[in-house]
Amino acid sequence: MKYYGSASPYLNDSIRDLRKAVPSLDGLKPAKDQQPLADILSKTSANLDRLLDHLPDLVAEESVTQMQWQNAQDAVAKCTGMSGCLDPLPSLRTNEKFSYIILPHRASEHHVRLEEYRATLNDEPVKPADEPHFQGFASFWIIFSSSNLAESHFRFLGLQKRDGHETYAVAFAQIPGSVNYNPQIVTRAGTVPMLLQGIAWIDRTNFQLIRLHTDLLAPQPKIQYEKQTSSIKFGRARIPTLGLDLWLPEDVRVETEVQGQLWQEQHRYSNFRLYQAKSKIILSPQQVRIF
């Protein structure tokens, strides 16, 4: 409540203002009423609960591209990074590859905490200085699981075609004081909990989560953290040894403005498979946001 109690989520805005806040809503056919919302949430959470109940320890290949602009105001010309171009060229650009590990920890039925770790391609622990700045995407969709629905407000926005799917567009905003497990924003200026708002696109046929757009529920000027926007695309991941079809992140793009600088990262995931430890190296859990 200290950091987000006065937040004004865009979930309450008009569709016209929402399209300005989230340009990827272009093409939305607005909903006439909220009557379908309960059924959409019920069927979507049932899908995610099944995924959580069967989610094994997983590892995938992760490719990370990082870009940094020293002056955020000068970097953005007449367009913005998530919806257009960036000018001038970034002052820093790096490309890294990791083994990306997801370990589920089950507290109760349908209630799972996901931890992510990274190792080098040679199965060595990743040094803190070499870690990506943005982490924790494996668990963003848990907002829509049945055990977490009470932590957010939801609004049915309407129908839209996204990524070749006919989808329901649903806005959400986490409720300050109601979220049991908060990721953290960690900067040189301090650490604060991270609450999110955003838009989910849900397939109208099978109620799978197709894409998730997130923003901070409110800027955090005390630590000079002005914005954070992410776009997460999900896809089917086949685990042949268990005969499982899972629905997991395959492409993540993040943009943030912090301490006057603009950062972008793109994460691409491939070849999800069962994880089996080959040694007794103990990996340290990653912070969700590190600067």
Secondary structure of 221-247 in HEC code, one letter for each residue: HHHCEEEEEEEEEEEEEEEHHHCEEEE
State the CATH number of the domain containing residue 47. Answer: 2.50.20
Helices (H) and strands (E) in the chain, counts: 3, 14
Across residues 66-83, what is the average pLDDT?
63
Q: What is the pLDDT of residues 98-112, one digit of tens each?
A: 999 999 887 766 577
- Closest C-alpha to 171, from 140, 205, 202, 148: 202
What does DSSP assign to residue 11?
G
State which amino acid sits at residue 230: S
Minimum mean pLDDT among 142-146, 154-158, 178-182, 192-196: which range?
178-182
Q: Is the pLDDT of residue 290 over 50?
A: no
Specify if 249 maps to a domain: yes
pLDDT computed for residue 127 by the predictor: 85
Across residues 267-289, what is the average pLDDT?
66
pLDDT computed for residue 184 by the predictor: 86
Across residues 125-133, what is the average pLDDT?
84
Is there a contact between 68 and 262 (Cβ–Cβ < 8 Å)? Answer: yes
Stated pTM of the model: 0.87
Local confidence band at 23 (pLDDT 50, 70, 90 cut-offs): very high
pLDDT computed for residue 281 by the predictor: 44
* Structural domain count of the chain: 1
In this structure, the number of other CB atoms found within 10 A of the CB of residue 70 comes to 12
Dist CA 103 CA 100 (whole Å): 10
pLDDT computed for residue 8 by the predictor: 94
Any bridge partners for residue 54, and if so which?
Answer: none
pLDDT computed for residue 88 by the predictor: 59
Q: What is the pLDDT of residues 198-238, one digit of tens each?
A: 999 999 999 999 999 999 999 999 898 999 999 999 999 98
Q: Is the pLDDT of residue 93 over 80?
A: yes
Specify if 2 maps to a domain: no
Parallel, antiparallel, or unpaired for β 261-274 and 244-258?
A: antiparallel
In this structure, the number of other CB atoms found within 10 A of the CB of residue 78 comes to 7
Specify if 237 maps to a domain: yes
**Strand, helix or coil for residue 287:** coil
pLDDT computed for residue 277 by the predictor: 67
35, two tokens: 């009557």
Specify if 46 maps to a domain: yes
Specify if 90 maps to a domain: yes
Location of structure tokens 């865009």: 10
Specify if 187 maps to a domain: yes
Q: What is the pLDDT of residues 229-271, one digit of tens each?
A: 999 999 999 888 888 888 899 999 999 998 888 889 999 999 9
Mean pLDDT, rounded, of the chain: 86
176, two tokens: 């300050």
Expressed as residue numbers, the domain containing 45 is: 10-290
pLDDT computed for residue 280 by the predictor: 43
What does DSSP assign to residue 183?
-
Across residues 115-144, what is the average pLDDT?
85
Local confidence band at 187 (pLDDT 50, 70, 90 cut-offs): confident
Helix (H) or strand (E) holding 17: helix 15-21
Q: Which residue has the higher pLDDT, 166 or 286?
A: 166
